[in-house]
Structure 1
C-alpha cells in the first residue's frame, strides 16, 4: 500500500504545482475529447494557478489547498474557497454563502488508487473542524461526474448541454 502524505502547499511547491495542473488538465481534456479547446484548457490552468496564488498569499484564508505526495512527487490536489462565479450564476445565487470544494486533481498515472477519496475525506475533515456543515461541488467533465454521482448521488443542478451538445454541467450541494 502506498504511503500518501497530505499537507498544505508552500511557496516552494508553486512551480511543481503549476506543472502538475498542466499535466492533469491536458490529460483531462484529452480523455474528454475536447483537447482542441485550447483557450478553455489554458483558462482552466490559469484559474488553478490563481486559486493557488490566493491560497499562498492569504495563508489559506481566501482559498485553501491540500496536496497529496508520494515519495516526494505531487500526485493530487484539492482546494476549497467561496463558491465560484459559475456556481453562483447557475444556481441564481442560492449557493453564494457556501464553500466550494474543487481542483480535485490526481495525476493520471495515480488515478483509480483512492487518492482523490483520501484528499476529499481530508478536506471534509478540515471543513468540519471549521464548523462548516455543507459545501458544494461542480463539474463539467463526464469522468469526474461519474465519480461524484457514485459518491454523492444525483446533483442538485443538471445543466443539460451547458458546454456543448452532450456536455453537461452538474452541481452538488453536500451536507457533512
Structure 2
C-alpha cells in the first residue's frame, strides 16, 4: 500500500506544480489524504463500490486507476439514467513513466473488466 501512496503523493504534487499551484500545500495534502483514504476504504470492504487496478514496471508500482459506480452528482443530473454506468475516478502514473502507454493500459483494463461484467459503457470525468 505504501507503493500506491507514493504514486498518489508524486503525481498529485507534480500535477499541482505543473499548473503553477505548487504553493497550495493544504489543498495538495487534502487531495493526497482523500486518495489514500479512498484506497484504504476500498480494501476494507469485501464488496466495495470502488476498486483500484495498479500498473507495475519491473516490480515497481508506477500507476493506479480507480473505478466505481456512477457518482451521486451524475445520478442526480441524469435523473438516474446513468445509475448503472461505471465511472473512472482517478488515473495516476508516476511522471517519469508517463507517455509510455501505462495510463492507456490501465483504462483498457477497466474497459475489459467491465465488458466481462456486461457493462459496456464507462464514464470518464475530471474532478477539479
The TM-score, its normalising length taken from structure 1, stands at: 0.63
Quick check: 1:54–1:62 contact (8 Å CA) kept in 2? no
Quick check: 2:8–2:32 contact (8 Å CA) kept in 1? yes
Greater strand fraction, Structure 1 or Structure 2: 1
* Residue of structure 1 in register with 2:117 after alignment: 130
* Residue of structure 1 in register with 2:38 after alignment: 51
The partner residue of 2:77 within 86, 93, 111 is 93
How many equivalent residue pairs? 125
* Residue of structure 2 in register with 1:119 after alignment: 106
SS in 2 for 1:104: strand
SS in 2 for 1:139: coil
* Residue of structure 2 in register with 1:157 after alignment: none
Q: Structure 1: 5+ residue runs without aligned partners?
A: 1-13, 141-168, 170-176
Q: Structure 2: 5+ residue runs without aligned partners?
A: none
Q: Please list every run of at least 4 consecutive aligned residues from structure 1 whose deviation after the TM superposition is greater than 6 angstroms.
A: none
* Residue of structure 2 in register with 1:71 after alignment: 58
Residue deviations 1:129-165, cap 9 Å, x none? 111122222225xxxxxxxxxxxxxxxxxxxxxxxxx
The TM-score, its normalising length taken from structure 2, stands at: 0.85
